[in-house]
Structures are given as C-alpha cells and as structure tokens.
Amino acid sequence: MTVNGVQYTREVEPRTLLVYFLREHLGLTGTHVGCDTSSCGACTVLLDGKAVKSCTVLAVQAEGAHITTVEGLAKDGELHPVQQAFWDEHGLQCGFCTPGMMLAAVDLLQRNPNPTDEEIRHALEGNLCRCTGYQHIVNAVKAAARLMGAAVGAPAGGA
Amino acid sequence: MAVTQVFGARVRRREDPRLIRGTATYTDDLALPGLCYAAFVRSPHAHARIKRVDASRARSAPGVLGVFTAQDLEGKVNAIPCGWQVPNCDLKTPPHPALAKDKVRYVGDAVAVVVAETRAQAHDAASLVEVEYEVLPAVVDMEEALRSPTLVHEDVPNNRVLLWSVKGGDFDAALRDPGVRVVRQRLVNQRLIPNAMETRAATAQYNPGSGELTLWVTSQNPHIARVILSGVLGFPEHKLRVVAPEVGGGFGSKIPVYPEEAVVAHLATRLGRPVKWSESRRENYLATIHGRDHVTEAELAVRSDGAVLGVRVRTLANFGAYLSTAAPAIPTILYGLVLSGPYRIPNIDCEVTGVFTNTTPTDAYRGAGRPEATYVLERMMDLAARELGMDPAEIRRKNLIPRDQFPYTVATGITYDSGDYARALDRALELVEYSKFRAEQAAARQQGRYLGIGLSTYVEICGAGPSKVVGSTGFAGGLWESAVVRFSPTGKVTVLTGTSPHGQGEETTFAQIVSQELGVPLDDVEVLHGDTDSILMGWGTYGSRTTPVGGTAVYLAAQKVKEKAQRIAAHQLEVSAEDLVFENGRFHVRGAPERGMTIQEVALQAYLAWNLPEGMEPGLEGQANWDPSNFVFPFGTHACVVEVDPETGQVKILRYVAVDDCGRVINPLIVDGQVHGGIVQGVAQALWEFAQYDQAGNLLTGSMAEYAVPKAAWLPWFECDRTETPTPVNPLGVKGVGETGTIAATPCVVNAVMDALSPFGIRHVDMPLLPERVWRAIQQAKGGAV
C-alpha cells in the first residue's frame, strides 16, 4: 500500500489491523488507538481519500490503497490548513484525539467546503475529544474552511 | 519593567506543532530495541477466591517469555500503598497487592501477567491462563455493603473504610432558631468513568550496566510515582527514573500509582528486556479509577427571608475494592471542607462514611470532591428557594460572602483568599438576560413548552497547597513546587518545572511568565517537565495547582536570574545595580539608555566568566521552590437555559453562560479551553454519563459503546466571560481554572431542568437526567402509569 506517498510492501498476519500496521510496522505513531469499539475515532486516517477508522480495517484490506495519516498532512514542511487552523484556534489540548479529528475534518471539508456549525458537529460525531468541549474544534474547522477557500480563491467561511 | 505584554496575551500554544504533526511521543509510541509486551489476566468475577492458576498452556504458547502470578512477585513487588491517609477517621488500609493473591475483589482485578515477543502473542497467551475461582457473593451497593456479612477485606468490619466528620458552629442550635425551615433531600452523585482519550500505558527498560531502571508512564506526577515505586519495588530511588512523556489527558485518573506500572518495571529488571504494556479501553473501564459515587442525605436550615443558617450532610462514599493513591482525601477534606461554597453559612455538620465494595477503586476525577460538595449545596439552595417562593438568584445573592470580607474564614475552618462573588453573579444574570428569560418562560408555559433556567454560584479550593497543611491532612508528601530557569550561553532559556502538564498548556503559559519577566522572546524559551532525572522534585499536575503553584515557582526562579543578571550588568557597565533600569529585556543605566546590555548578552558573559563581580559563581540560572501560604479560591456563576420535551423527556440546552474568576489570566485562549472542557464534563454528568454495575458486580457500561462520552453534536455553544480578582496568595495573582467548569456545570444544568419541570411539581430527579428518567418523573407527577 501507499502511505503518505511512499509505497510499502510488508508481510503481515491476516488479523493485523491497519492501525497497528501503521504504528508498529511502519512506525507512524501519529495515528492513535483510543478504544476497542470503533467509538472514538482517534485512529481515523484517509483511505483512498475517505476518512476511515483504521482500527476497523484489516491491513490486508488496505492492500493497494492510498493511505494518508497525520504525518502526511503537511507538505514540504508547510502545515495543512486544517493543522494550521487547529493550532491557531486552540483546537487541541492533550492532542491525543487530534490526528483523527483533523483527518475527519479534512474529509468533511473535501465534501463540504463551507460547512455550518451544525454540519461540523454532526460530521465529527465519530470522533471523541475529552479535553476541549469541541467549541475550539468547531472554530478550527471553520477557520480551516476559510483558509482553504482563500487558497482556491472561492468565498468560504462557516455560518 | 518589561514593556512587551506577553502576560495576558492570547498566545498560540507552543506544544501544538508536535501534536498536530503527529510527531509527539506518547508512552505507547516508544520503540526500543528488544521490546516485548505484557498483557494482564483479569478477573471476570467481582469477588472470588483464587483456587488455582495454571499457566502451563500459556507458558508454551508461541513467543511467550514468561507468565507471572502473585507467588512469583512475592518479596519483589510489594503492595501498592495509599498516599493520603487522612487522620482521625478510623481509616482502614488493607493491602493492595500488585497481583491478586488469594482473592479477587472486583471485575478487572489483575491475577497474572504474560510477557511475549509481540502484543498479539501476549494477548493470545493471556487467554490461555486458566484460573479456577470459587465465586463469592459480591457487595456492590453501599448501603447494603455496610450491613452485609460479605466483606471485601476480611479485616475491615462492615466494609467501612472510614468515618470522617467536620463540624463548624452548631447545626442543632440552628434548628431551634424561631422561624427556621429545614429543606431535606437525598442526592445521588453517580459514579463516573474518567475516559482520558489516551488509556494508561507503561514501558520499562533496565540497564544492567548502570543499574538504572527507566519507566515511561502515563502519569500526572512522575516524581510521586518514583517515590512510591522505589518503595514498592525496593529499588533505590536514585537509580529509578520515571518519565511522563506526552500524556493524553488524565482528569485525575493518572494521579494514582497503579499495580501494572510496578509489575512492568519489575519485569524489565527480571527479564533483562524492555517491557511495554498498553491498556485496552475495556481494561481502562475496569482497571483505571472511577470517580464520584456518593449518596447524600442533605438538610439545609433556612430562615423565611432566605438566610441560610446551616447545612448538615450525611454522605456515603464508594471507595471500590481498594484504596487508591489519593482516595481517602477526595470525599473528606476535598468535599466536607468546601460545603460552605460561596456563602456565609454559620453552622455546618458533615459526616462521611467510606465504603468498600466489589467495584473498581475510585479516586480523583476532575474536581475531586468539590463537584460533589457544590452539587449538594447548589441543589439545596434551589430547593430552599422553591420552598420559600424566592427567586434562585435572590437567595444566592442574599447569602454570598460580601467582597469586603476577605480573607473570609468559613465554618469548616478554611480561609478564602479573595473574591467578588456578587459581581460574577450579576454578570452572569446580565449575560443570560435573566429577567427577560423569566418573561419568556412564563409565555412558553402558556404554550405548553417547558423552559428552565439554572444557576450555580460556586467557589473552588485549589492550588494545593501549603505543605504543612496537606501534611496535617495525611498527605504523604509536600505540595510545594520546584522550578529552574536557566540561560544558555547564547541567551536561550530552559525552564524546568516539577508540575507535569498533559494538555493544560503550561509549556506556553510558563514561557509567557518567563518572557514577561526576562524580556526575552517567547520562542527563546523552552519549558521541560515530566522527567525525574532532569527535574529536582515536583508534585505534579492536578487539583488546578499547576499555574498557581508551579507558575509561581517559575516566576520566582526568573526573579533570581534577573537579580544575578543585574549584578553582572552593573559590574560590567561599572555602575551600581540600583542605577540600572530593566526594560524590554535590557539593562541600561538610568538616564543614559545608550549604556546598557541585554539580558541575553549578560548570559554569555555569565558563562564566559571573564569579568564577573568578585566572588560570584559563573553561569546564569535560578532555582526556586515555592510553598504557598494558602490555597487559592476561584469562583464564579454559571447559568444555563434548557428546554424539556414533556413527551419524550429529552433535555436540550439552549444557552450556557459561564462567568469565571481565576484571578489574573496569563493566556485567555487557554483559559477558555480549560473552561469549555470542564463544562462539558460537568454537563455530561448532569445529562448522560453514569457507570452502572449489576448486582453481581459486572460493569454494564464497560466500553465507549455503552458509556456516554459526549459528542460534538450534543453540546451547545458556551458563552464565556470573566471577572478578574487577583489572589494575594501568590505574586502572580493567579488561581487555577482546570476544574471550575466541571464544578459549576453539573448543578447548573440539573437546576435548569428542575426549573423547567417545576410546573409538574417535580422537586428533584437524580442524575443523569436521561430522557427516560425525566419522562418517568413527569408521568409520575401527572399520576399516570409508568
């Protein structure tokens, strides 16, 4: 599979979950494990561009797929607008849910470049944060929408 | 005096770049050569005798390096001690063995540990360990446990952990006051599960050459862990290094020293290989502490004009199966002593009975005792207002401690530092448009809509604390804090703190303190924490103490640096130190601003040591240990507007206003974040979260699929404002803010719902106010079938 633009070929046990493949086989520990019931979303990555919980995907199911993890968000050292916005808006505290939260936000903004508060809160329902109370996360996603909108020259900005 | 105003600025957090790039290192992220993995075998029974453990199949499973039981740890891993033995309460301290020896006492009690080459092999082999149990009756309910012949610990009669009381004034005398009315209510403060997003983990590595044992662990207080573990393991403290790397939230649950950490550390020395253990979320629900779990009979004595004469509470507090590290302090001193809240209450009588049950041990969960006290008091204030036909805002205002009475000593004996409680109340009422709301509420009721407003005026005790005071309460340590502020030759600053932040942002706020005091750019300051090898001593991050205690130590260390730098500058500029002015990070001669040198230039001179004052040691570093003279007491008023759907019992929060006062604010952005997160945990207790056991002691809410950790879509927008009343307790004037939201929010929301339900004559419904409970209460009130 291709992870953050790099192609990897590995032999794994069939039961290996994608999240453990990323963490333990490739050393990409930015993707976290927060539960064992697919509830928390800390392990969210993009699989062929769509957000998935990597604890619910077997590594072998991702054979040939393109995966983006938090380590692949920044390009040439430049933060992705979602990363920038989470920083600017204090969208994180302990940081443990943050990689998954940001990737869920990237997925949302790809589908809906100008989401309302309600749409943002709904889109993040699969990602739990115990620190922030979500308000600054919602602000961050709106700020990211503005940054990304500005980047493509389109009007953007949440309600 | 520095001109750049860094203190008070909304500075972006300096810890964030590593967190948003995914390059931070949490304990489970550590990769070490030769690393092997541990998995614990846990009891499926709440109470059982261990008849036999057969590990033979597990031992021969692929990749297994060893299987260990209590017998194998005999004399090598001692029992885990309790670190806060509250005196004068007949406290029982039965041993807490690292692995259960003869008996298991709760579902999740660890019986054996397996170490294998891979994580999967360890878990596979753990499932092959055969344990034969003789199942015993379990006690789960506290009232039942106090009468039951079933004992969690054979040497603790009636399962009673402690009987603690505090009395101020004379509550019985208050009852004889002519015209007194007594409001009574039974209040359940349900058990909660902390749910830090990162579960616990421990990785240990032993170096036989140096004899050094390093433990990386998800801890809020690595120095405390080192002291306790050196005793548990019989390991010399100076050879034991405890590191709290990136820690993914704690909320109190990472204060205790847990059995798994001791076992993993021991196994690393025994196997001669680094060992890692990471808790699954299921294990986290079973084996990491829970919080709250009180049942209280409360009485409030009040005159018809609303003057509160006294409070009497009889509280049962569930300790679970073992005494966790700080557990005895939580429902006693951190609860009973704050029962006066922000009010003048002359007579307080509090008695707490602690109970062992066959459940997960309890300990500090965000607020720890103070939310429980505030819930009791704020519910009782509303019930009193209702009974007297008074407005809930007015009864509060009438009893608030006036601002000209500080320092104010309450009936329980503690002295509040500073406050302007009425101002925060007024501001909250103004923001929530209280009077206007009452009119809207009346109109809505005409249309069959049930709106309610709730208030919570609170005061918190935090910033622990004076060491001799906490020592007198049985804490087996001090609660001062250490700091080092160290210039390097090129003028960069390293700050070491004994606190151990894990999301609270003190790498930023402490850098702001130093930048403000020394006039150096923020980017030139690095704040380090969490490593017992580099940091003299520290007592950790909890109880909203990090900034008021740890921050003050940093401030004082910076002063020492500044004083020494001034002497060096004066020497080199050939003037006396008093003739120098310090401005924007630069010393200059008074009246001759061109003659000067920056503190960063002084740093180089301090290390070169070519030209220092006679007898001065080279180098530029300040070290300070700060032991405060008192706790600090943040306060505020929260107000919440809800609508209850009478058909479904569903509660919707329409508005939430928080006015908090945490003294001077170093970073408003971070304070807002702390308040938001705190409020959500408080709201969640009011509406959604509860840990539920069945009668056999099985945890029915044992995963994130069953326990209601709140989601973004459930929550309203928080409208936060502040008043600013500095504390005289520390030179920064700062109070803590990590727990205020949680303390205030729970009664605020419940009061709002009860206000909405008042047309039905409903006085009280116990938390969480799930739709089903609210709907049943409405049906009962209507006299309908439920």
pLDDT in tens, B639-654: 999 999 999 999 999 9
Do residues A85 and A147 both lie within one domain?
Answer: yes
3-state secondary structure of B643: strand
pLDDT tens-digit profile of B760-783?
Answer: 999 999 999 999 999 999 999 998
Facing residue for A36 by CB, picked from B21, B281, B670: B281
Helix axes B740-756, B370-388, angle to 10 degrees: 30
| Mutant choice from A135, A138, A141, A147 vs B, greatest count of B C-beta within 10 A | A135
Do residues A19 and A52 both lie within one domain?
Answer: yes
Residue B236 binned pLDDT confidence (cut-offs 50, 70, 90): very high
Query: Hey, is the C-beta of B508 within 8 angstroms of any chain A C-beta?
Result: no
- Please name every residue paired with B450 in a beta bridge, in sequence order, or none if there are none: B644
- pLDDT above 80 (res B784): no
Percent of chain B with pLDDT over 70: 99
Strands (E), B344-449: 347-356, 408-409, 415-416
pLDDT tens-digit profile of A74-126?
Answer: 999 999 999 999 999 999 999 999 999 999 999 999 999 999 999 999 999 99
Q: Does domain B16-21+480-626 have CATH number 3.90.180.10?
A: no
For residues A94 and B248, the answer to whether their CB atoms sit within 8 Å is: yes
C-alpha B225/C-alpha B383 separation (Å) is: 44
- Please name every residue paired with B528 in a beta bridge, in sequence order, or none if there are none: B496
Residue B465 binned pLDDT confidence (cut-offs 50, 70, 90): confident
- Cross-chain residue pair B28–A20, CB shorter than 8 Å: no
C-alpha B555/C-alpha B54 separation (Å) is: 57
Nearest by Cα to B20 from A121, A131, A78, A40: A78
- pLDDT above 70 (res B786): no
Facing residue for B712 by CB, picked from A24, A39, A134: A134
Q: What is the mean pLDDT of chain B?
A: 97
Do residues A143 and A121 both lie within one domain?
Answer: yes
Nearest by Cα to B322 from B47, B50, B691: B47
Alpha-carbon distance values, A4 to A8, A60, A83 (Å) = 10, 17, 16
- Cross-chain residue pair A133–B16, CB shorter than 8 Å: no
Domain boundary assignment for chain B: 16-21+480-626, 32-136+197-249+254-287, 291-464+630-782
What secondary structure does DSSP assign to A3-55, as a single string?
Answer: ETTEE------TT-BHHHIIIIIS--TTS----SSS-S-TTEEEETTEEEETT
**Per-window interface: B 25-54 vs A, CB < 8 A:** 25-26, 28-29, 31
Do residues A59 and A91 both lie within one domain?
Answer: no
pLDDT for residue B102: 95
Burial B477-502 (b: 16+ CB within 10 A, else e): bbbbbbbbbbbbeebbbbbbbbbbbb
**What are the two backbone dihedrals, phi and then psi, of residue B632, each rounded to the nearest 5 degrees?**
-120, 155
User: Could you tell me how many CB contacts below 8 A there are between chain A and chain B?
Assistant: 173
Q: What is the DSSP letter of B650?
A: -
- Cross-chain residue pair A128–B711, CB shorter than 8 Å: yes
Please check whether the two domains, B16-21+480-626 and B32-136+197-249+254-287, share a CATH topology.
no
Query: Hey, is the C-beta of A108 within 8 angstroms of any chain B C-beta?
Result: no
* Residue with the two structure tokens 């500044």: B562
Do residues A65 and A94 both lie within one domain?
Answer: no
The dihedral over CA atoms of A90, A94, A95, A100, expressed in degrees to the nearest 10, equals -110
Alpha-carbon distance values, A63 to A8, A28, A58, A102, B266 (Å) = 10, 17, 9, 24, 40
- Cross-chain residue pair A95–B669, CB shorter than 8 Å: no
3-state secondary structure of B652: strand
Do residues A6 and A56 both lie within one domain?
Answer: yes
Do residues A41 and A9 both lie within one domain?
Answer: yes
What secondary structure does DSSP assign to B129-198, as a single string?
Answer: -EEEEEE-----SHHHHHH-S--SSTTSGGGEEEEEEEEES-HHHHHTSTT-EEEEEEEEEEEE----SS
Residues in chain B: 786
* Residue with the two structure tokens 């294998």: B116
Percent of chain B with pLDDT over 90: 99
- Average pLDDT, stretch B678-703? 98
Sign of the Cα torsion B235, B241, B245, B250 reads positive
- Cross-chain residue pair A37–B713, CB shorter than 8 Å: no
Q: What is the mean pLDDT of chain A?
A: 95
Facing residue for A134 by CB, picked from B670, B715, B741: B715
Sign of the Cα torsion B434, B439, B440, B442 reads positive
C-alpha B72/C-alpha B76 separation (Å) is: 8
Q: Does domain B32-136+197-249+254-287 have CATH number 3.40.50.300?
A: no
Residue A151 binned pLDDT confidence (cut-offs 50, 70, 90): confident
Nearest by Cα to B541 from B251, B240, B237: B251
**Per-window interface: B 671-700 vs A, CB < 8 A:** 672-673, 676-681
Assigned CATH class of B291-464+630-782: alpha beta
For residues B194 and B289, the answer to whether their CB atoms sit within 8 Å is: yes
* Helices then strands, each counted (H, E), chain B: 21, 28
Residue of A nearest to B720 (CA): A135
Residue of A nearest to B503 (CA): A94
State both tokens at A71: 């380590």
- pLDDT above 70 (res B127): yes
Q: Is residue A158 part of a domain?
A: no
C-alpha B658/C-alpha B201 separation (Å) is: 35
pLDDT for residue B163: 98
Query: Hey, is the C-beta of A21 within 8 angstroms of any chain B C-beta?
Result: no
- pLDDT above 70 (res A157): no
Facing residue for A137 by CB, picked from B24, B503, B712: B712
Residue A158 binned pLDDT confidence (cut-offs 50, 70, 90): very low
Do residues A58 and A26 both lie within one domain?
Answer: yes
Domain containing A129 — which CATH number?
A: 1.10.150.120
pLDDT tens-digit profile of B248-283?
Answer: 999 999 999 999 999 999 999 999 999 999 999 999
C-alpha B402/C-alpha B416 separation (Å) is: 12
Residue of B nearest to A124 (CA): B712
Do residues A148 and A85 both lie within one domain?
Answer: yes
Query: Hey, is the C-beta of A43 within 8 angstroms of any chain B C-beta?
Result: no
pLDDT tens-digit profile of B60-82?
Answer: 999 999 999 999 999 999 999 99
Cβ neighbors of B468 (< 8 A, separation 6 or more) are none
pLDDT tens-digit profile of B332-368?
Answer: 999 999 999 999 999 999 999 999 999 999 999 999 9
C-alpha B455/C-alpha B641 separation (Å) is: 9
- The reported pTM is 0.97
C-alpha B277/C-alpha B37 separation (Å) is: 6
Structural domain span for residue A147: 81-152
